[in-house]
Amino acid sequence: MGIVWSQFFPPKPTLTEANLPSQKGKVFIVTGGYSGVGFELCKILYQAGGKVYLAGRSEEKALQVIEDIKTGSPNSEGDIVFLPLHLDDLTTIKPAVEKFTSVEPRLDVLFNNAGVSNPPQDSISPQGHELQLATNCLGPHLLTQLLLPTLQKTSRNEAPASVRVIWLSSIVVDTSAPANGVNLDELLRRDAGFNRNYENTKVGNWFLANDLAKQAGSDGILSVVVNPGNLKSNLTRHLSSWVPFLVAPLLYPPIMGAYSELWAALSPELKISDGGKYILPWGRLHPKPREDLLRAMRLKEDGGTGDAALFIQYCHDQIVEFK
C-alpha cells in the first residue's frame, strides 16, 4: 500500500529543466509530442539544445506546437521537427522511420510516449486490432524494432546506457492489473472491457521494455518502463465526464510526467544493469514490483510462468509483415 501511496504523493523530482545539462548534439523522438506530457518533454529537450522529432498524427497541431515552443525559447540552440506517424496504423510506421533515417545518422533516446485509454466501444485499428493494443503496444513495438539499427549505431560511440528507449506504463500495474500480467485471451476476445484492456496494455509495455533490454542490453542500449504519474492530460478524454472531476485533487500538471520521463531518459544514476526495470514518479526505481509480474517475465524453465513470452511472441507475429 505504501508504494501505491507514494505514486499519488511522490517525492520532489530531481531532474528538471532547471538542472538538465545541455543536450546539444543529441537527437530525440517523442511520440504524441503535441499535447500533455509529450509537449512538455519536447519543450524541455528543445530548450536544452537537443534536436527533437515530434511524432504524431496531425501536422497542423504539430506545426502550431513547434511554433509555440520556438517562440517561447528564442535563444535555444535546439531544433524541433514534425515526423508524421499514426501508431495505430502499422502501415505508417516504416515510412516514418525511413523518413527519419534518411536525414538522421543517430538517435539518442526514443520516447514511446503516446498512448490511448478507454476509447469508444468497438474502436479498432486499421489492421483490426483493439485500439489500445494497437496504439499502446503494437505500434511502439514496431517503431522500436525498426529504429533499433540506428540506436545500435549511436550506442557504439557512447558510454553504456547513454542510448535509451522509454516505454510508458501506469499506476494500474500496481493496483489492478491482472494476475501474471497480460491476459492475452482477454485482449484477443475484446470482451473484457476497455479499462481491463488498458491494464493489459500497460503491463504489456513493461513486458516489451524488459524484452528489449534483453535484446539490446549487450549493445549498450537501456530500455526501461515508466509510470509518468497521475496527470491532468488528454489520456482521460474518453472517460465519463465525472471521473476526471472526481480524481482531480489527485492529478498533477503534465510537466510532472515529463520529469518522470526525463529522469528515465537522461539520469546518470541508471546503468545498463537497470534494463527492464520499472520507474516511478517523478524519477526513481520501483522498490518492490509485484512478484507475479516479475514471475511472468521469467520462462517456465527459470521458475516463471512464461506469460510475458507469449505476449511478446504475439506482438512479434503482428508486426512481422510491416517490417
C-alpha separations of 232 from 16, 228, 235, 263, 278 in Å: 19, 11, 8, 20, 22
User: 202, 223, 252, 277: which is the annotated catalytic residue?
Assistant: 202
Task: Please state, in angstroms and rounded to a whole number, the distance separating the CA atoms of residues 46 and 11.
Answer: 26
User: 125, 155, 162, 169: which is the annotated catalytic residue?
Assistant: 169
Give every strand in the sheet of 109-112, ordered side by side: 79-84, 51-56, 27-31, 109-112, 163-168, 221-226, 278-280, 284-285
Active-site annotation holds for 323: no
φ and ψ of 101, to 5 deg: -70, -15
C-alpha separations of 316 from 138, 142, 323 in Å: 9, 8, 10
Active-site annotation holds for 53: no
Active-site annotation holds for 202: yes
Beta bridge partners of 284: 280
Contacts of 118 (CB under 8 A, 6+ apart): 132, 194, 195, 198, 238, 239
User: How many CB atoms within 10 Å of residue 310?
Assistant: 15
User: 34, 46, 53, 198: which is the annotated catalytic residue?
Assistant: 198
Burial class of residue 192 (count of CB atoms within 10 Å of its CB; 0-12, 13-18, 19+):
middle
Task: Please state, in angstroms and rounded to a whole number, the distance separating the CA atoms of residues 316 and 194.
Answer: 23
311 close to 182: Cβ distance less than 8 angstroms: yes
Task: Please state, in angstroms and rounded to a whole number, the distance separating the CA atoms of residues 256 and 51.
Answer: 22
41 close to 261: Cβ distance less than 8 angstroms: yes
The C-alpha angle with vertex 110 and arms to 312 and 160, in degrees rounded to 5, equals 90
259 close to 269: Cβ distance less than 8 angstroms: no
195 close to 118: Cβ distance less than 8 angstroms: yes
User: Which residues are marked as active site?
Assistant: 169, 198, 202
